Amino acid sequence: MPDDVDPALLRRPWIAGPDPAAPSESWLALDDDDLLSKIETLPEQHGEDEKLIAVMRSDRHFFVRQEAAKRLVDHERLKEYRDDRHIGQILARRLRRYEDVAYLEGLIRGSRHLEVRRAAKAQLEELYETLKLTPGRG
């Protein structure tokens, strides 16, 4: 890596699973294919948010982490990860209420990540339409 590259602009390093340090019952002990299958086949009201949070906190590839974020039942828990460029995109797409307008506007103004700002802007435009709001006036 060149010396003049800002480390904050680089993607977080990832590790292909399984995680050898994970307990055998942990989802992180699964290889990526099995882990993605487990995530994708969860029923809608699954009760596995804690396991999904563990995947989101892990060093797995961003795609695996995003898929875990998409399946959270409690979308409010995504707000803990607003500064994560990959989870932040999923967060922005899950916001759908009046209270979320200000949050999305804040993400657009304050996120360091273009992907998060784009997702927030797209969701905010959809939210304005859904809630019959005028941009900038609520």
Q: Kindly report the number of other CB atoms within 10 A of residue 93's CB atom.
A: 17
Q: On the CB side of 16, how many CA atoms lie within 13 Å of its CA?
A: 1
Average pLDDT, the chain: 79
Q: Which amino acid, residue 121?
A: K
State the burial class of residue 126 (Cβ atoms within 10 Å of its Cβ: 0-12, 13-18, 19+). middle
pTM across the whole model: 0.62
Q: How far apart are CA 45 and CA 49, in angstroms?
A: 10
Q: Which percentage of the chain shows pLDDT scores above 90?
A: 13
Query: Domain residues of the chain, as ranges?
Result: 15-73, 76-138
Rounded Cα gap, residues 136 and 1, in angstroms: 42
* Model pLDDT, residue 5: 57
Q: What is the dihedral of CA 113, 117, 120, 122, to 10 degrees?
A: -130
